[in-house]
């Protein structure tokens, strides 16, 4: 469970790893269900497209990386639906962020063996820009490890304290997924902290924390599932306060805001 020191680290550094949050039995069940989902519904791609590849990969590797990305595993497996209410996960986000947390997304980022794709430096915020809150940044990403993720497997790297700088301008467009300009933000230029992890560990990080990861060069899969939650009071910028902005509440109770229309 999350300790007060880990809460402090999350607030000050923008990330924290909690070891063994999922038991070996839980990881076994979640992992085998995920393998079945990948086999039946998954699709292999090279990962994110974009010119950033020339800066992160050499020669033919720019075109030969492998990835399986898949949204909403709970659409295929009840085991993946129940995870949103996992005691260890919900008690952790309650302590790290807020007592009432609304689920936002679940996405698999799997790096297949041999040449699993890298991810360029980015914040997660520009993936949901309409979500940036009026007050605060109470949006947390939880990277649940289904496999061991040693350094050589392309584990997560973060830039400590980068969440304190707020949202940054990213390169966006139909040709790529949002990423920071490699001329200014690249592992050769910016010091990052490498976070190797074991299956069952969860890395919690703010959606404003700059992060990236390298290729998986091992012979094993590196499957990680990112689950995003935010304080239930957060609303998309500019959304009419009288309009509902609801999704599954993972922990706590969402009270009706005073600004909302009065129910009969």
> Whole-number minimum distance, CB 107 to ligand AKG, in Å?
7
Nearer to ligand AKG, 170 or 211 (CB): 211
Question: Token digits for 205?
Answer: 């990080």
Binding site for ligand AKG (CB under 6 A): 109, 119, 124, 143, 154, 156, 211, 213, 224, 226
Question: Token digits for 56?
Answer: 């992160």
The answer to whether the CB of 14 falls within 8 A of the CB of 160 is yes
Nearer to ligand AKG, 226 or 254 (CB): 226
The answer to whether the CB of 223 falls within 8 A of the CB of 146 is yes
Tell me which residue has its CB nearest to ligand AKG: 213
Owner of token pair 């989902």: 37
Question: Computed from CA positions of residues 21, 23, 28, 33, in that sequence, does the dihedral angle turn out positive or negative?
Answer: negative
Nearer to ligand AKG, 73 or 224 (CB): 224
3-state SS assignment for residue 92: helix
Owner of token pair 């997560």: 156
Q: How far is CA 99 from the centre of its chain?
A: 20
Question: Computed from CA positions of residues 201, 206, 210, 215, in that sequence, does the dihedral angle turn out positive or negative?
Answer: positive
> Whole-number minimum distance, CB 22 to ligand AKG, in Å?
16
> Whole-number minimum distance, CB 226 to ligand AKG, in Å?
4
| E strand map for the chain | 15-18, 44-45, 67-71, 101-111, 119-122, 139-145, 156-158, 193-195, 202-206, 211-213, 222-231, 249-251
Nearer to ligand AKG, 223 or 235 (CB): 223
> Whole-number minimum distance, CB 55 to ligand AKG, in Å?
16
Nearer to ligand AKG, 31 or 154 (CB): 154
Nearer to ligand AKG, 102 or 213 (CB): 213
What is the Cα–Cα distance from 6 to 8, expressed in whole angstroms? Answer: 5
Interhelix angle 87-96/4-13, rounded to 10 degrees, is 60
> Whole-number minimum distance, CB 124 to ligand AKG, in Å?
5
> Whole-number minimum distance, CB 137 to ligand AKG, in Å?
16
> Whole-number minimum distance, CB 162 to ligand AKG, in Å?
13
Nearer to ligand AKG, 35 or 260 (CB): 35
């Amino acid at each position: 469970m999350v300790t007060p020191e880990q809460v402090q680290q999350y607030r000050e550094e923008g990330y924290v790893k909690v070891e063994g949050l999922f038991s070996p039995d839980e990881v076994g069940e979640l992992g085998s269900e995920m393998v079945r989902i990948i086999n039946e519904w998954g699709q292999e791609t090279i990962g994110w497209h974009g010119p950033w590849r020339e800066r992160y990969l050499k020669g033919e590797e720019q075109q030969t990386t492998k990835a399986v990305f898949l949204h909403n595993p709970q659409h295929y497996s009840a085991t993946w639906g129940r995870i949103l209410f996992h005691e260890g996960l919900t008690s952790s986000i309650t302590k790290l962020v807020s007592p009432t947390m609304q689920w936002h997304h679940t996405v698999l980022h799997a790096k297949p063996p041999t040449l699993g794709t890298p991810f360029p430096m980015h914040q997660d915020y520009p993936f949901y820009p309409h979500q940036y809150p009026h007050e605060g940044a109470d949006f947390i990403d939880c990277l649940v490890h289904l496999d061991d993720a040693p350094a050589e497997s392309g584990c997560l790297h973060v830039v400590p304290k980068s969440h304190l700088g707020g949202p940054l301008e990213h390169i966006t467009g139909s040709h790529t997924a949002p990423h920071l300009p490699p001329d200014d933000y690249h592992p050769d230029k910016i010091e990052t902290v490498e976070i190797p992890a074991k299956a069952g560990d969860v890395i919690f990080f703010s959606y404003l924390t700059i992060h990236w990861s390298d290729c998986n060069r091992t012979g094993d899969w590196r499957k990680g599932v990112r689950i995003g939650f935010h304080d239930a009071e957060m609303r998309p910028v500019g959304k009419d306060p009288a309009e509902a902005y609801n999704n599954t509440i993972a922990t706590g109770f969402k009270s009706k805001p005073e600004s909302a229309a009065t129910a009969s």
